RNA sequence: GCCAGCGUAGCUCAGUUGGCAGAGCAGCUGAUUUGUAAUCAGCCGGUCGUGGGUUCGAAUCCCUCCGCUGGCUCCA
């Protein structure tokens, strides 16, 4: 701790120089000693590796008697932006408290794009109120009041929050901060907030701030708890950076796959068909088919076997796998073979939750009889457990089906379809398997979150010794797939279990084994990866691919998951070379994730302008006038026979208009044909990016386009107007 | 599912304090026969998301439901 015995301390700057200072010297004092300009731009400091307020005495931050490493943080340092935004959240909260009565403060952290503060306010805030809140914020910034830190012990802190009528803070001190002896507060004028900090020296440093949106949020993330109002904002060191950030949001809006998908006839989602159910229109279906053909060919060459499974399966299948009880809420209700099935299902749920009264029970028994379900063993006097057992026995002999939410149970039974020898392993079964999940209405989002989706699913059944090699092979496959569509910027998230949670199934030993295997492969893969506790599936750890698109947004796409659980549940076995039975290990993997989500992401990444090999319309032949239509048809036929997706624009009108339409439709190449071309057997090729390429023989044009297609060349037709990383948050470590 | 906002023609959007529902694009028809990002003219097109209420009168005000959007929660 503090070196109170010595009145002086030694401070080491990043350039290595060490100087002596009094123990109460602050980072700001040292900045002032270097230059006034530096002092003005210091936002915070990194002392002994911790980000702290610039006005903290360095002596109290020292860990031992060795020189204290100090780095002054200015707007050039990415860490400073987080500090600024956190202070901006305080300023916003202060403005809100001035304008509204009865404000209870919750939390106000920073996010990758800015910050938010959660409030409990009786009055509803709407976006119409933003101007007056922003005006109040500007007033506060103009005052340039400092942020002042002070420490209280728990009882004092509790009393202060109580006096300030901050009941959420009181609760947090009691529950969330139970193990802290003292807590820190920050005061800025009349605004006092329980806060870990750090903060910028004064509010005047905030040069650009904007309220972004208002939304609901739960207190401490608990959906059964209090609903708070969350006010989102963003802040920057200067107005240009704010403008660039707003431009990024605008760019994202222009690329919205829901808008582009409708505009270009790629897909449709119609409430009359059903929420979250995607209609793949011809052009979207072409893109998908190209992706599927590409992957199928790749999988066949990598030792996978194609399989097919039905769209429904008995509920017992998913009871065995564990999915049915675990995900009951987010599955479509079972389909019942017997008319009484649904009623008995509801009956059992009432019994389970203890919400069935005698009167209702009699009615249910009567109704069961009417619907032809005789249950003579059911006695009203019996215990709930006994009743449930009787009903469950009835269910077991009456078919119940689930629209399949997962492919893996089916594939497990394919493994079991014959006795297996170690010689057959690894067995790699793949299928573009369509599954249905009843996602909550608020979660649905275009193609990105749907209720019916097709996974590029496969399950690898292998021996424990093969796990590493197979896992590595799937990582390589996923890399290959992503890079083939031009996605070169990705990292892997190792999703591990949360040691404190009990939602996981399987033995401690299996989990340790699986997590260590994944970590080992990742460490040897040379791929950038990070570990995230609590993100694992309930049956095993996963490696999720986080992919950055061309405007710097991160998407979770492909996934590889290790599973020691399902083989156990389905009692999968093979005979080893020792002539005894062994349990295989399962690897779930999907390089695209789902066709819906992957295609939706691609639409946004390419702004609807697919590269040649994925394009739903690669060539459009534009006859100069009706006189050239015959030749246009002949040209189109040649492109068609060469395997291109080609159309003819035989509308009336000038070629300029046809070109404009083709450009707007994002067709990769236009083949303009008039009398000159017809005479010489040529086409005048126009590239949608580079423009007119001049006339050339048809064979030459076909060869050129074929090369671009076969090479899977990716040329971004719609350049991003913003730099991909220029405005991302400080927390991800980008330079400024 | 929860909180907030929104819902007018196929699309993008106007529509004053409640007083006869509009434009551009797309589509159709006709003229035009065109050389690298828009040829001209005419026509068609809406129970203003649904159901109810207030009112002499509702796209406009109120309520219900449906859907969409942004978040939250969830995501096998």
Q: Which nucleotide is nearest to A230 (CA to C1')?
A: B71
Average pLDDT over residues A570-590: 96
The gap between A273 CA and B66 C1' (Å) is 14
Residue A408 burial (10 A CB sphere; 0-12, 13-18, 19+): buried
The gap between A492 CA and B11 C1' (Å) is 40
Structure confidence at residue A224 (pLDDT): 86
The gap between A644 CA and B41 C1' (Å) is 38
Please give the Cα distance from A346 to A613 (Å, whole number): 51
- Return chain A residues 690..719 having CB < 7 Å to nucleic acid strand B: 691-692, 694-695
- Return chain A residues 401..420 having CB < 7 Å to nucleic acid strand B: 405-406, 408
Q: Which nucleotide is nearest to A625 (CA to C1')?
A: B33
- Return chain A residues 121..180 having CB < 7 Å to nucleic acid strand B: 124, 126-127
Nearest-CA residue relative to C1' of B40: A653
- Measured distance between the N- and C-terminal CA atoms of chain A, rounded to whole angstroms: 34
The gap between A123 CA and B62 C1' (Å) is 20
Instruction: Tell me: pLDDT of A236 over 50.
Output: yes
Beta strand A8-12 pairing with A68-73: parallel
Please give the Cα distance from A277 to A636 (Å, whole number): 35
Which residue intervals of A526-571 are DSSP H helices? Answer: 565-569
The gap between A26 CA and B66 C1' (Å) is 61
Distance of CA A92 to the CA centre of its chain: 28
Q: Which nucleotide is nearest to A692 (CA to C1')?
A: B36
Distance of CA A140 to the CA centre of its chain: 36
Distance of CA A307 to the CA centre of its chain: 29
Average pLDDT over residues A349-355: 85
What's the pTM value of the predicted model, to 2 decimals? Answer: 0.92
The gap between A611 CA and B73 C1' (Å) is 38
Structure confidence at residue A355 (pLDDT): 83
ipTM for the predicted complex: 0.95
Q: For A144-188, list the strands marked E by DSSP.
A: 148-153, 182-188
The gap between A509 CA and B56 C1' (Å) is 80
**Long-range CB contacts (within 8 A, 24+) of A415-424:** A415/A461, A415/A570, A415/A572, A415/A584, A416/A570, A416/A572, A419/A575, A420/A461, A420/A572, A420/A573, A420/A574, A420/A575, A420/A584, A421/A574, A421/A575, A422/A463, A422/A574, A422/A575, A422/A576, A422/A577, A422/A582, A424/A574
Instruction: Tell me: pLDDT of A731 over 70.
Output: no
Cβ count within 10 A of residue A188: 21
Q: Which nucleotide is nearest to A126 (CA to C1')?
A: B4
- Which residues of A are catalytically annotated? 408, 437, 455, 457, 459, 542, 588
- Scored b (16 or more CB within 10 A) or e, A586-620 reads bbbbbbbbbbbbbbbbbbbbbbbbbbbbbbbbbbb
A323 assigned binding-site residue: no
> Between these two residues, A736 and A109, which has the higher pLDDT value?
A109
pLDDT band with cut points at 50, 70 and 90 for residue A2:
very low
pLDDT band with cut points at 50, 70 and 90 for residue A732:
very low
User: What fold does the segment set A79-252 form as a domain?
Assistant: 3.30.980
Instruction: Tell me: pLDDT of A640 over 70.
Output: yes
The gap between A259 CA and B54 C1' (Å) is 38
Instruction: Tell me: pLDDT of A564 over 90.
Output: no
Nearest-CA residue relative to C1' of B38: A657
A8-74 classified as CATH 3.60.15.10: no
Domain residue limits, chain A: 8-74, 79-252, 284-308+404-606, 338-398, 619-711
Cβ count within 10 A of residue A181: 7
pLDDT band with cut points at 50, 70 and 90 for residue A120:
very high
Q: Which nucleotide is nearest to A442 (CA to C1')?
A: B1
Q: Which nucleotide is nearest to A671 (CA to C1')?
A: B36
Q: What are phi and psi of A569, to 5 degrees?
A: -65, -35
Structure confidence at residue A216 (pLDDT): 92
Nearest-CA residue relative to C1' of B33: A625
Best mean pLDDT range from A175-184, A377-386, A456-465:
A456-465
Nearest-CA residue relative to C1' of B4: A215
Longest Cα pair distance anywhere in chain A, in angstroms? 99
A408 assigned binding-site residue: yes
- Return chain A residues 333..352 having CB < 7 Å to nucleic acid strand B: none
pLDDT in tens, A253-298: 999 999 999 999 999 999 889 999 999 999 999 999 999 999 999 9
The gap between A108 CA and B5 C1' (Å) is 23
CATH of domain A619-711: 3.40.50.800
A21 assigned binding-site residue: no
- Using omega within 30 degrees of 0 as the cis cutoff, is the peptide bond preceding A198 cis? yes
Helix (H) or strand (E) holding A542: strand A542-548
Nearest-CA residue relative to C1' of B37: A660
- Return chain A residues 619..648 having CB < 7 Å to nucleic acid strand B: 624-627
Query: Is any atom of nucleic acid chain B found less than 7 Å from the CB of residue A663?
Result: yes
The gap between A261 CA and B10 C1' (Å) is 15
Structure confidence at residue A346 (pLDDT): 87
Nearest-CA residue relative to C1' of B31: A652
- Return chain A residues 217..246 having CB < 7 Å to nucleic acid strand B: 217-218, 221, 223, 227, 229-230
pLDDT in tens, A24-66: 999 999 999 999 999 999 999 999 999 999 999 998 888 888 8
pLDDT band with cut points at 50, 70 and 90 for residue A503:
confident
Please give the Cα distance from A586 to A568 (Å, whole number): 10
pLDDT band with cut points at 50, 70 and 90 for residue A6:
low
- Return chain A residues 481..510 having CB < 7 Å to nucleic acid strand B: none
Best mean pLDDT range from A175-179, A222-226, A405-409:
A405-409
Q: Which residues contact A159 (CB under 8 A, 6 or more apart)?
A: none
Please give the Cα distance from A643 to A626 (Å, whole number): 26
Q: Single out the residue of A141, A92, A144 nearest to residue A115, CA to CA.
A: A92
Instruction: Tell me: pLDDT of A615 over 60.
Output: yes
pLDDT band with cut points at 50, 70 and 90 for residue A724:
very low
Question: What rounded mean pLDDT belongs to chain A?
Answer: 91
Q: Which nucleotide is nearest to A406 (CA to C1')?
A: B76
Query: Is any atom of nucleic acid chain B found less than 7 Å from the CB of residue A106?
Result: no
Q: Single out the residue of A602, A274, A640, A572 nearest to residue A429, CA to CA.
A: A572
User: Which nucleotides in chain B lie closer than 7 A to a protein CB?
Assistant: 1-5, 11-12, 30-39, 66-76
Structure confidence at residue A723 (pLDDT): 53
Average pLDDT over residues A630-652: 96
The gap between A123 CA and B54 C1' (Å) is 27
pLDDT band with cut points at 50, 70 and 90 for residue A727:
very low
Structure confidence at residue A729 (pLDDT): 30
Q: Which nucleotide is nearest to A217 (CA to C1')?
A: B72
pLDDT band with cut points at 50, 70 and 90 for residue A539:
confident
pLDDT band with cut points at 50, 70 and 90 for residue A197:
confident
Instruction: Tell me: pLDDT of A4 over 70.
Output: no
Please give the Cα distance from A450 to A650 (Å, whole number): 38
Q: Which nucleotide is nearest to A318 (CA to C1')?
A: B76
Q: Which residues contact A380 (CB under 8 A, 6 or more apart)?
A: A358, A361, A362, A365
Q: Which CATH number fits domain A284-308+404-606: 3.30.930.10, 3.20.20.70, 3.40.980.10, 3.40.50.2000?
A: 3.30.930.10
Average pLDDT over residues A696-701: 97
- Return chain A residues 295..314 having CB < 7 Å to nucleic acid strand B: none
Region for A321 from its dihedrals, namely left if φ exceeds 0, alpha if ψ lies in -120 to 50, beta otherwise: alpha
- Return chain A residues 563..592 having CB < 7 Å to nucleic acid strand B: 588
């Amino acid at each position: 701790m503090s070196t109170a015995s010595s009145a002086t301390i030694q401070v080491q700057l990043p350039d290595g120089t060490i100087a002596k200072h009094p123990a109460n010297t602050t980072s700001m004092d040292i900045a002032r000693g270097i230059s006034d300009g530096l002092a003005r731009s210091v936002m915070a400091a990194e002392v002994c590796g911790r980000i702290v307020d610039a006005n903290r005495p360095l002596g109290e931050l020292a860990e031992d008697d060795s020189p204290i490493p100090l780095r002054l943080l200015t707007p050039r340092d990415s860490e400073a932006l987080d500090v600024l935004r956190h202070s901006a959240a305080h300023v916003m909260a202060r403005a809100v408290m001035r304008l509204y009565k009865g404000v209870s403060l919750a939390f106000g952290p920073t996010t990758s794009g800015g910050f938010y503060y959660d409030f409990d306010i009786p009055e509803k805030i709407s976006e119409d109120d933003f101007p007056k809140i922003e005006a109040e914020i500007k007033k506060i910034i103009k005052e340039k009041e400092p942020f002042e830190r002070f420490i209280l012990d728990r009882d004092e802190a509790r009393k202060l929050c109580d006096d300030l009528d901050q009941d959420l803070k009181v609760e947090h001190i009691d529950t969330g901060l139970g193990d802290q002896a003292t807590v820190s507060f920050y005061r800025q004028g009349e605004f006092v907030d329980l806060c870990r900090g750090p903060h910028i020296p004064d509010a005047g440093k905030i040069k650009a701030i904007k309220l972004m949106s208002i939304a609901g949020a739960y207190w401490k993330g608990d959906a059964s708890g209090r609903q708070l109002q969350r006010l989102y904002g963003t802040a920057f060191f200067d107005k240009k950076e704010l403008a660039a950030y707003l431009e990024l949001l605008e760019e994202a809006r222009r690329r919205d796959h829901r808008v582009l998908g409708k505009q270009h006839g790629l897909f449709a989602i119609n409430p009359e068909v059903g929420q979250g159910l995607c209609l793949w229109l011809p052009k979207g279906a072409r893109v998908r088919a190209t992706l599927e053909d590409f992957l199928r060919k790749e999988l066949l060459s990598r030792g996978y076997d194609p399989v097919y499974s039905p769209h429904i399966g008995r509920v017992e299948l998913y009871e065995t796998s564990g999915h049915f009880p675990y995900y009951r809420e987010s599955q479509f209700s079972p389909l019942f073979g017997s008319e009484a099935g649904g009623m008995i299902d509801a009956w059992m749920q009432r019994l389970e939750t203890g919400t069935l009264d005698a009167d209702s029970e009699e009615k249910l028994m009567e109704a069961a009889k009417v619907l032809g379900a005789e249950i003579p063993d059911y006695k009203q006097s019996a215990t709930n457990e006994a009743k449930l057992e009787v009903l469950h026995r009835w269910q077991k002999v009456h078919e119940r089906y689930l629209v399949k939410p997962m492919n893996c149970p089916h594939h497990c039974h394919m493994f079991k379809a014959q006795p297996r020898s170690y010689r057959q392993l690894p067995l790699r079964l793949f299928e573009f398997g369509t599954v249905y999940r009843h996602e909550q209405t608020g979660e649905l989002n275009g193609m990105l979150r749907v209720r019916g989706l097709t996974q590029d699913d496969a399950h690898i059944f292998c021996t424990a010794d093969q796990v590493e090699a197979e896992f590595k092979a799937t990582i390589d496959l996923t890399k290959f797939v992503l890079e083939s569509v031009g996605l070169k910027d990705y990292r892997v998230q190792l999703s591990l279990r949360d040691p404190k949670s009990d939602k996981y199934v399987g033995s401690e030993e299996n989990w340790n084994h699986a997590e260590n295997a994944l970590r080992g492969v990742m460490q040897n893969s040379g791929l950038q990866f990070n570990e995230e506790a609590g993100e694992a599936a309930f049956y095993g750890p996963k490696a999720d691919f986080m992919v950055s698109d061309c405007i710097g947004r991160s998407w979770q796409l492909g996934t590889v998951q290790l599973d020691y659980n399902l083989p156990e549940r389905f009692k999968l076995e093979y005979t080893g070379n020792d002539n005894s039975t062994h349990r295989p290990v399962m690897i779930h993997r999907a390089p695209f994730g789902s066709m819906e989500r992957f295609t939706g992401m691609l639409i946004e990444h390419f702004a609807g302008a697919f590269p040649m090999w994925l394009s739903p319309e690669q060539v459009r032949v534009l006859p100069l006038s009706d006189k050239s239509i015959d030749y246009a048809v002949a040209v189109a036929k040649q492109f068609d026979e060469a395997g291109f997706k080609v159309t003819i624009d035989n509308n009336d009108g000038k070629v300029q208009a046809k070109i404009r339409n083709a450009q707007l439709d994002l067709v990769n190449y236009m083949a303009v044909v008039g009398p000159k071309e017809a005479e010489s057997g040529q086409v005048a090729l126009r590239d949608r990016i580079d423009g007119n390429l001049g006339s050339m023989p048809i064979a030459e044009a076909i060869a050129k386009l074929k090369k671009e297609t076969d090479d899977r060349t990716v040329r971004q037709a719609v350049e991003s107007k913003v730099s991909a990383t220029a405005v991302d948050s400080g927390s991800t470590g980008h330079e400024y």
